[in-house]
């Protein structure tokens, strides 16, 4: 059983990792992930007893509390007050020190400044936990106390004041990312106007059920996925798809939740409850995306567990070994040992790496690209080969009958049989009136269907179907799709059906090439001649035609030999090939559970132009993660080496505040760099 528990006050990435580890150690609990950015814990539990133990662990973990909804606490007031009071002591102390006033007065003022800024840090250390013994609170306390012990009160106060300022700025940055995701929640309408005969009643959107009729006034958000009952209206779909233009809808068309009615007041029938709506799926995908971590995230978590004990051991060696060869002068080497510990704190990586992925997921959602997790962003950035389904992906998938060959009976028989089919080609016959009613309709995989009409066996499908069933047929030469119709083994005629290439397809594929996609391929069950004729203007490198559904996964495996493969399809008929690909993308699948289940990404806008945005966003995310890792490690190693070298040579002294910069400053710069992910993708 799955459970998501809303929490608050978990503002430390290292603490979140520790809480996750603690929860996974409980018998009956698995896959526990504490998410400090989303302020939630997700886990799987085998019994109510195990769940109760998990909740007990959460509520007894430092200051973490359960929350019924998103945390609404005033996050920064405590830090601001502490900084202001600390600065009120620090500035006069600094002036007095520069003017040579009483040393003990200066010492006392700096001590008061350090206590005002760092009392919460020291309090956390006093609440001793073995697993957090060497966390940043302990390291900062050690640095400050060490500075006062060696009579460097300025540096001791600066350590705490700078650390508190860094924490405030970090919390503001992380809170900003949380706010970006919380803004998505605004897409969800809390209320709806339910129509009961002539009566109108305001109800919560969660109360709506399939079949309910609602009134949508101008400016109302669509509370649940609906079908327009009459008239026409305009929808603002920007919050859902990222597209700024209004979408015109007519009676019988679907209205997805999260859109805004910008036309006249209309009536609509609910087709899915709010819990299964498009908005619910978007929010679920975005909120749960942090549970599926990318390799760099997993590496940083494991790295911190091994790295910290090693660094502590090295600091101990620095503090103890050199003095043994320098007349036991332990005081001199105490400072570089403390600096070594402070600089080494891995918080810059532990916070900035998941924050970058989280921001990447949220940014793509603004462009109408939904992803199930950071791991898929990482994989998408590596893709060099892209394969596309033809129908409904590179083409609009809106088929129309353009010509009937032979008897008109072929059209009416085909219309009767196709009424019960879910195949995209069946849409072409929806407007055709037919006096016939088909029974015993059966799909013939990849070729067509069979049915019984007025007691006679009907075959509707491809040339291959007719040939395999022994129907004498003369192939029709056409660039349109040709559907042949046979009755009792005799050809009645054929129907030509045309589709159009999506207007944005050429530019989207060209942009993918510019983004690093080396080769593009198309999978289709259509004939090569028709596929080549339809796609002749697109920058496609290879076309795999005449494919059965079972052939597509085999072709995908062949393409994967060249490297990671991206596959783009409708997410319903292409489930097997999506599973065989490294990364799969579903076109406009918000109304389809199958699409979201099968794919790693969903293009909510149903536009190929969003695909290059997804690839650029994935590459940008991976690039920022690499920058943060390289920058953090380089600066820390450089400062640690400088600290030791300064003491060993005696040529200069590295101040403790520089060590604080190596921790808090580097962390802040990495977080600010992560925030670039929230900017425009171009």
Distance CA(440)–CA(184), nearest Å, equals 46
- Which of 389, 526, 570, 606 is catalytic? The answer is 389
Is 526 an active-site residue? no
Residue bearing tokens 């603002």: 236
CA 312 to chain centre: 36
DSSP secondary structure string for all residues of 375-405 = HHHHHHTT--EEEEEIIIIIB----EEEEEE
Cβ pair 258, 279 in contact under 8 A = yes
Distances (CA, A) of 87 to 97, 99, 116, 170, 215: 15, 18, 9, 19, 57
Which H helix or E strand runs over 488?
A: none
Bridge-partner residues for 495, per DSSP?
404, 483
What whole-number distance in Å separates Cα of residue 264 and Cα of residue 282?
Answer: 27
Tell me how far CA of residue 616 lies from CA of 290, 381, 388, 446, 522, in angstroms: 20, 8, 18, 35, 22
CA–CA gap between residue 580 and residue 599 (Å, rounded)? 11
500: CB partners within 8 A, 6+ apart? 395, 396, 398
Token pair, residue 368, equals 């109408």
Cα–Cα distances in Å, from 235 out to 4, 194, 213, 405, 603? 33, 20, 18, 41, 18
Q: Active-site positions? A: 389
């Amino acid at each position: 059983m799955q459970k998501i528990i809303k929490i608050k006050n978990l503002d430390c990435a290292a603490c979140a990792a520790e809480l996750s580890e603690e929860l996974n150690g409980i018998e009956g609990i698995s896959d526990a992930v504490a998410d400090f950015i989303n302020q939630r814990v997700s886990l799987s539990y085998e019994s109510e007893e195990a769940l109760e133990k998990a909740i007990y662990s959460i509520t007894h973990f430092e200051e973490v509390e359960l929350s019924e909804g998103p945390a609404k606490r005033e996050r920064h007031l405590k830090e601001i007050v502490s900084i202001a009071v600390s600065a009120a002591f620090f500035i006069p102390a600094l002036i007095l020190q520069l003017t040579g006033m009483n040393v003990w007065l200066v010492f006392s003022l700096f001590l008061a400044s350090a206590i005002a800024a760092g009392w919460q840090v020291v309090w956390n250390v006093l609440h001793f936990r073995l697993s957090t013994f060497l966390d940043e609170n302990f390291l900062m306390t050690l640095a400050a106390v060490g500075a006062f012990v060696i009579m460097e009160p300025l540096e001791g106060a600066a350590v705490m004041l700078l650390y508190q300022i860094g924490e405030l700025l970090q919390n503001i940055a992380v809170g900003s990312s949380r706010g970006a995701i919380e803004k998505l929640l605004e897409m969800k309408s809390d209320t709806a106007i339910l129509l009961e005969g002539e009566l109108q009643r305001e109800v919560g959107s969660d109360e709506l059920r399939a079949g309910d009729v609602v009134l949508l006034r101008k400016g109302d958000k669509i509370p649940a996925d609906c079908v327009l009952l009459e008239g026409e209206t305009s929808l603002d779909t920007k919050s859902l798809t990222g597209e700024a233009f209004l979408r015109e809808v007519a009676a019988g068309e679907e209205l997805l939740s999260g859109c805004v009615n910008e036309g006249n007041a209309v009536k609509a029938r609910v087709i899915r409850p709010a819990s299964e709506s498009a908005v619910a799926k978007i929010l679920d995908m975005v909120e749960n995306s942090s549970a599926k971590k990318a390799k760099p995230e997993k590496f940083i978590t494991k790295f911190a567990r091994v790295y910290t004990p090693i660094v502590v051991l090295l600091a101990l060696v620095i503090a103890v070994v050199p003095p043994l060869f320098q007349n036991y002068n332990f005081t001199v080497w105490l400072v570089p040992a403390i600096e070594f510990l402070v600089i080494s704190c891995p918080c810059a990586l532990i916070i900035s790496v998941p924050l970058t992925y989280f921001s990447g997921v949220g940014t793509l959602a603004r462009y109408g690209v939904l992803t199930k997790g950071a791991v898929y962003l990482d994989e998408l950035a590596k893709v060099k080969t892209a394969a596309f389904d033809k129908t409904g992906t590179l083409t609009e998938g809106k088929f129309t009958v353009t010509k009937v060959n032979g008897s008109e009976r072929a059209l009416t028989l085909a219309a009767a049989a196709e009424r019960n089919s879910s195949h995209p080609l069946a849409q072409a016959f929806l407007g055709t009136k037919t006096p016939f009613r088909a029974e015993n309709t059966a799909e013939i995989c990849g070729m067509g269907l069979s049915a019984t009409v007025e007691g006679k066996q009907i075959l509707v499908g491809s040339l291959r179907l007719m040939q395999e069933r022994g129907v004498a047929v003369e192939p029709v030469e056409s660039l349109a799709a040709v559907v042949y119709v046979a009755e009792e083994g005799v050809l009645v005629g054929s129907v030509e059906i045309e589709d159009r290439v999506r207007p944005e397809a050429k530019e989207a594929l060209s942009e993918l090439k510019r983004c690093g996609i080396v080769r593009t391929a198309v999978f289709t069950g259509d004939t090569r001649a028709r596929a080549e004729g339809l796609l002749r203007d697109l920058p496609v490198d290879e076309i795999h035609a005449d494919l059965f559904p079972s052939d597509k996964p085999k072709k995908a495996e062949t393409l994967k030999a060249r490297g990671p493969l991206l596959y783009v399809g409708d997410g319903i008929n292409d489930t097997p090939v999506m599973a065989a690909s490294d990364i799969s993308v579903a076109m406009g699948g918000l109304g389809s559970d199958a699409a979201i289940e099968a794919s790693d990404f969903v293009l909510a806008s149903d536009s190929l132009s969003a695909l290059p945005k997804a690839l650029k966003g994935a590459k940008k995310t991976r690039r920022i993660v690499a920058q943060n890792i390289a920058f953090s490690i380089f600066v820390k190693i450089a400062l640690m080496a400088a600290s030791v070298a300064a003491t060993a040579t005696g040529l200069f002294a590295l101040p403790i505040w520089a060590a604080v910069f190596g921790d808090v400053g580097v962390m802040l710069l990495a977080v600010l760099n992560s925030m670039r992910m929230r900017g425009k993708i171009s």
